[in-house]
A and B are shown apart, each in its own frame.
Chain A
């Protein structure tokens, strides 16, 4: 029953699976439905990118997996989070704490506010070993130096006693990565890990993250709004809109043939370095307020293909197939008109 015992990979059971998750926030305007039935899974060595704009529920899902959702105002109203087949949401807090950091770790967007400014980075890195592994202070510090070396922070031995503000943005993000890696977790959730960084530094950090993922054979959930970063590193993609997943696809498939009008709109609206068009395609309107999600398909007021059925019936997540009905592995779309979208 205990999580330590099921360490061996069980065939057929995903490493981490989110099933039909629902999360709400109580607000003055009523319940804000941040997550409305999200399902996704990630296996060891695999990178899942969760793509979405602000307010799409991608970060709330991650916080729920980690068990760091603020409750209240947040509340999980349904669904399961299965780690090696075991539902984390039903575990007592004590047991969840052993999973957090040890089995599933998280990298936050803003390293400066995620690190404690009054403790040295060595102290914060070592804390992982002291709390979870019962290391002495001295042994923990030695481990911290080792980790800082691993994420290629120059002169780790001298810098282990520095405070977060003494590091540059890119270096701080490396420390965040080191902290997430400390206990060699099975799954890492990276929430916009490079959004606050400059492009040349972003390239360094993404490179490092990909290398470490390979070396440790971890599952990586990369949460981002950047279609470029996704194209660079993801194996498969889940596109989120208004708290739901609207499309699932392997990375090459998604960029080549999107099966949801929202995905297609996003891909068309990015200016590309290698072509200079006249006018950018723009998805009209705005993402909906989470307290007043449109009936039917949440995307219908902004969709060029919307028909009456889109305003009344919530589209189910259906498997996407080739024109002749032959299956396309790992693809699904929540659009009434996915056939028209993908096959034109």
Chain B
């Protein structure tokens, strides 16, 4: 892999446990939902890191932790070498300017009583130095134009826009402060297929023009592959596998990734009867009481005794250390094995 310099975001051993308590007056902790457990990754300038996983795997909690909307139980998030997870007050405000977020639901993430101009301009009220008072209107119009909306719409309200247009408003708000990193939590999953493509194209164009780094969280594997440079697969609070998009999709070594890829319905009826499918048994276990050892072992067809005893570490598997194929990437499985599922 080419040298891309220092990562702008380094996440190390991030843990978030939400306590489960009993009682009202005399609260006692009876357990914890282990939403995120020991997650580490890097994000480089101008790249897109996709994070995929099913509901409850902790991907949205990761987004909240990156935004400092939740305090981690332990672990660090370094932005340009500085641990931002412990910051507060003015220092936090200064960092937040560079890390912005685009939310999933364009219907609930915009205040219905504010005009589009107020919504996109609100970041300037919090960071007055980002745009001098007199120039704010002009800047908002520029932003509207940048995301492909008519600048004349500045005084309209969110309900006057369609879902795709609202998502553009959300993106414009995220861009207002010229951030370096945008955390996108399921940004297109609420949109129709034909509109989804428009928003994905917009996000890619903005990334090229503004050299943005995206953390792109989604459950749709084909969209994640399309937009991402690197992909992390999460299962039950842990990263199962991390690699470039080609490594993950063409040479998945973790059984969960393989099952996930094989379960995605392909938009092509050719060969549908001969395609290999791995149908997992059962549901995702509760994160309040995850299985010992490897968290995937209860649904895994490869599970052995060691899987219940030892937590597999996220590392390049021993057998692929000297490999020159795409299988040489980090995978948290005792029995990691390259298997082509997609047959590109």
B195 interfacial contact with A, CB 8 Å: yes
Contact of A227 among B193, B204, B262 (CB under 8 A): B193
B324 interfacial contact with A, CB 8 Å: no
Residues in B with CB closer than 8 Å to A226 are: 265
Closest Cβ of chain B to A204, distance in Å, is 6
Residue contact B197 to A280, C-beta cutoff 8 Å: yes
Residues in A with CB closer than 8 Å to B279 are: 200, 203-204, 207
Q: Mark A253-292, 1 if CB is under 8 A from B, else 0.
A: 0010000000001110111111111011111101100000
Q: Which of B203-234 contact A (CB under 8 A)?
A: 204, 219, 221-223, 225-227
Residues in A with CB closer than 8 Å to B54 are: 198-201
* Minimum CB distance partner of B199 in chain A: A282
Residues in A with CB closer than 8 Å to B221 are: 199, 273
* Minimum CB distance partner of A171 in chain B: B283
Residues in A with CB closer than 8 Å to B198 are: 282-284
Q: How many A-B residue pairs have CB under 8 A?
A: 131
Q: Mark B258-294, 1 if CB is under 8 A from A, else 0.
A: 0111111111111010000101100110000000000
Closest Cβ of chain B to A207, distance in Å, is 6
Q: Which of B182-210 contact A (CB under 8 A)?
A: 192-198, 200-201, 204
A252 interfacial contact with B, CB 8 Å: yes
Closest Cβ of chain B to A198, distance in Å, is 4
Number of chain B residues close to chain A: CB under 8 A: 45
B103 interfacial contact with A, CB 8 Å: no
Q: A271-B197, A274-B342, A287-B194 known; 8 other A-B pairs, CB under 8 Å?
A: A171-B283, A230-B267, A231-B267, A232-B266, A232-B272, A270-B267, A282-B197, A284-B198
Q: Which residues of B contact A (CB under 8 A)?
A: 54-55, 162, 164-165, 192-198, 200-201, 204, 219, 221-223, 225-227, 245, 249, 259-270, 272, 277, 279-280, 283-284, 342-344
A-B contact pairs, 24 of them (CB 8 A): A53-B194, A199-B219, A203-B263, A203-B279, A203-B280, A204-B279, A204-B280, A206-B265, A227-B193, A227-B267, A231-B267, A232-B269, A251-B269, A255-B270, A269-B194, A271-B225, A272-B267, A273-B249, A273-B344, A274-B342, A276-B226, A276-B245, A280-B201, A283-B198
Q: Which residues of A contact B (CB under 8 A)?
A: 53-54, 168-171, 198-204, 206-207, 225-232, 234, 251-252, 255, 265-267, 269-277, 279-284, 286-287
